[in-house]
Chain A
């Protein structure tokens, strides 16, 4: 057992830090620090800077633009990127449909889609959940009926993040209604400009509308846009959902937020002294940090095992731990950050800078804290709710 990073890994960490320092545009960095939502041009701009450097899809096979780094360097890069904080590349392309295409797709699909994912020429969204199929995803009903060399798709997807920006959507659809539910699903790639597709925004409690409903009415999809075999889509979905082994805990994000909590708690006064000197506040922060350090070690155990034994393709039960604990820490940090603001958590001021011409006592960093707390309630719900994750551990690990 050796728990130290190698000299090469330490040097690599410095290289990543220097790159982010020198190449992340200042305006994007400022938005990330304040916890503000980025817009489409922001993410495209940053992704193309990364792609020009060869770092947009580091974890992909080298044949498709990956860097060839081992799991340890992949992890270091991800953590430094989240901590900086730099925006994460659009996960629907880079972490979800991209790996499905290079693992199960045809050569034509790989040539056509993979470079455009890396450069964010195509903005992808995910068509999985339906109003009646959340935790029970396999019960999905969106129907695809074969008609010559097309599928005709009818149905509805929901919670589709950023569909309003999307060029393409990857969809789980039902191609066999007679078979057992998991054995009648196919994986389709659908052009969002196809006639019959309607996107409707869903406003969320943080005031944003990053998610949408997507309606399909007689949408014709060429058969060559099906990934892999008909009725094998559930296998590809399981691969996609289980593939998220290093990103789900968002340890770098939580580290950045803890740093931000410390920074702002030194500015906010309580009883004439900075809040960070308040014992109860300090203890609450320390408790979160302990949890975060322990989770970081869990993450490194997963990464080191990958590095030593190679990715076996089987979902690691540690992934469920990372998701459960990682989400709890994200939620605890966003709540504590809101607490830092004291009474200034109350003002709802979207676009604060533009609204008032004169300065006010409301600190610039305060109005975003409560919306971020509200928005982060989703992290224990999405990606397989924490209840589902606990069921997985109980069954697959504990044999209950």
Chain B
């Protein structure tokens, strides 16, 4: 068993850390957040030039042939830098639908555009009644000749404000919570009947409320089986959860590094606060939580390509639950140890804390996944 990165993987990590370390310091991030898009088009271009957008796609489709480990490396680096760019929405979510559900023709049209950074994607699934249930869909898709007509609303569409095209789940048959009768459609954000209102999220990223009012889409807007698209959506989201787990390791690691540095430098009562055993133990608790998060991320990454839907789902429930709890422990302790300074917007640790909190919110909190894993029978079977 070998947990070491290959030479190529190490190079990927090192060059991305170098790019972001130089160009994505905290002061840079503040500037990028104030830009109209809310992120840096220049960084986006450099990421594309590095091949990051092409990374997960097969070489035959115009990609580089990377797998879940490569995505894990990129996401951890983006988490460490607290990146604002729509990489997750475009490459992990949107790109996931292309890879796992796209026909040869769809891939041929769209993968090169994602790979060169010119096309931005998003995934709209949340609805008012759905909470975290991907199967809860009231947005409708009605056959119209060769194509379809879509009507409904999607909430909190991550980076839906800047997306050129948006994947949405829509119901082709059945009732609101039926697992069948759901299709996945790719909608042009500028099509007639599409309206969206963009806003910032609590962690400085962007999202949108999306309304579809009798939006006509052509036949090739369907990805996978329009009557049974939920398994595809679940598979994409499972891989997305593994990616978020990796991002959270970067976020937690950065909070921890800031905290340990602060403990060495900040003096009260004539000594560095790092000499107080209580705080030392808190820093160690954070360290243990981060290593657990790193390990569960490796497990989730290993399982990301599994064809065993049930086992893969359980792995992702475990990962999301673990990083949610660990992230909260690391974040809350980081603020506490920093004292008042941790509460200020001027200082980075609070921003990492907010990102970690929003990672927990995305696709279901820790407790949601804990419940789902329990319902699915847990991770380890009973003794024979």
Q: Which chain A residues have a beta carbon within 8 Å of chain B's beta carbons?
A: 129, 132-136, 139, 158-159, 202-205, 207, 268-272, 275, 278, 280-281, 284, 331, 335, 338-339, 342-349, 355-356, 360-362, 370-371, 373-374, 377-378, 380-382, 385-387, 390
Contacts and interface: CB of A to CB of B under 8 A. Distances in A.
A361 B350 CA distance: 28
B257 to A, nearest CB: 19
B29 to A, nearest CB: 14
B290 interface: no
12 contacts: A129-B340, A135-B268, A203-B346, A204-B345, A205-B344, A280-B370, A338-B357, A361-B128, A361-B209, A370-B354, A381-B335, A387-B278
B155 A361 contact: yes
A343 B353 contact: no
Q: What is the interface of chain B mostly: helix, strand, loop, or mixed? A: mixed
Interface in B219-241: none
A347 B199 contact: yes
Contacts of B340: 129, 134, 158-159, 378, 381-382
Contacts of A275: 131
Nearest to A342: B131
Interface string B116-151: 000000000011110111001000000000000000
Contacts of B353: 205, 374, 377
Interface of B: 126-129, 131-133, 136, 153, 155-156, 176-177, 197, 199-202, 207, 209, 267-270, 276, 278-279, 328, 332, 335-336, 339-340, 342-346, 350-351, 353-354, 357-358, 361-362, 365, 367, 370-371
B85 to A, nearest CB: 17
Given A272-B129, A344-B155, A347-B202, 6 more contacts: A135-B268, A205-B354, A343-B131, A343-B362, A370-B357, A377-B336
Nearest to A339: B365
Contacts of A134: 268, 339-340
Nearest to B358: A346
B201 A346 contact: yes
A377 B341 CA distance: 12
Contacts of B155: 343-344, 361-362
B344 A204 contact: yes
B39 to A, nearest CB: 15
A269 B269 contact: no
A348 B38 CA distance: 13
A106 to B, nearest CB: 33
Nearest to A159: B340
Contacts of A278: 371
A166 B336 CA distance: 28
Contacts of A347: 156, 199-202, 207
B126 A362 contact: no
Contacts of B131: 268-271, 275, 342-343
A361 B344 contact: no
B201 A205 contact: no
Contacts of B200: 347-348
Nearest to B208: A347
Contacts of A348: 199-202
Identify which of B132, B201, B279, B339 gathers the most chain A CB atoms within 10 Å of its CB.
B339
A350 to B, nearest CB: 9
B346 A370 contact: no
A377 B199 contact: no
Contacts of A386: 336
Given A205-B343, A360-B197, A343 B357 contact: no
Given A129-B340, A272-B177, A135 B269 contact: yes
A270 B133 CA distance: 8
Contacts of A132: 267
A374 B367 contact: no
A354 B136 CA distance: 30
Identify which of B131, B201, B336, B358 gathers the most chain A CB atoms within 10 Å of its CB.
B131
Given A280-B367, A343-B132, A349-B199, A361 B343 contact: no
Nearest to B204: A348
Contacts of A271: 131, 133, 177
A339 B343 CA distance: 21
Given A346-B207, A360-B209, A373 B339 contact: no
B336 A356 contact: no
A391 to B, nearest CB: 9
B336 A135 contact: no
A129 B344 CA distance: 15
A333 to B, nearest CB: 14
A136 B202 contact: no
Contacts of B351: 205
Nearest to A275: B131
Contacts of B127: 361
B242 to A, nearest CB: 20
Contact of A362 (B202, B209, B339, B370): B209
B209 A385 contact: no
A203 B345 contact: yes
A345 B361 contact: yes
Contacts of B357: 338, 370, 373-374
A345 B364 CA distance: 11
A202 B344 contact: yes
Identify which of B176, B202, B370 gathers the most chain A CB atoms within 10 Å of its CB.
B202
A342 B132 contact: yes
Given A345-B202, A347-B199, A381-B336, A374 B345 contact: no
Contact of A339 (B129, B278, B367): B367
A377 B334 CA distance: 11
A381 B370 contact: no
Identify which of A129, A346, A356 gathers the most chain B CB atoms within 10 Å of its CB.
A346
A118 B358 CA distance: 42
A382 to B, nearest CB: 8
Contacts of B346: 202-203
B339 A280 contact: no
Contacts of B153: 361
A206 to B, nearest CB: 8
Question: Lowest 4 CB-CB distances: which A-B pairs, in order?
Answer: A205-B350, A203-B345, A136-B268, A361-B128
Nearest to B175: A272
A135 B339 contact: yes
A129 B341 CA distance: 12
A110 to B, nearest CB: 33
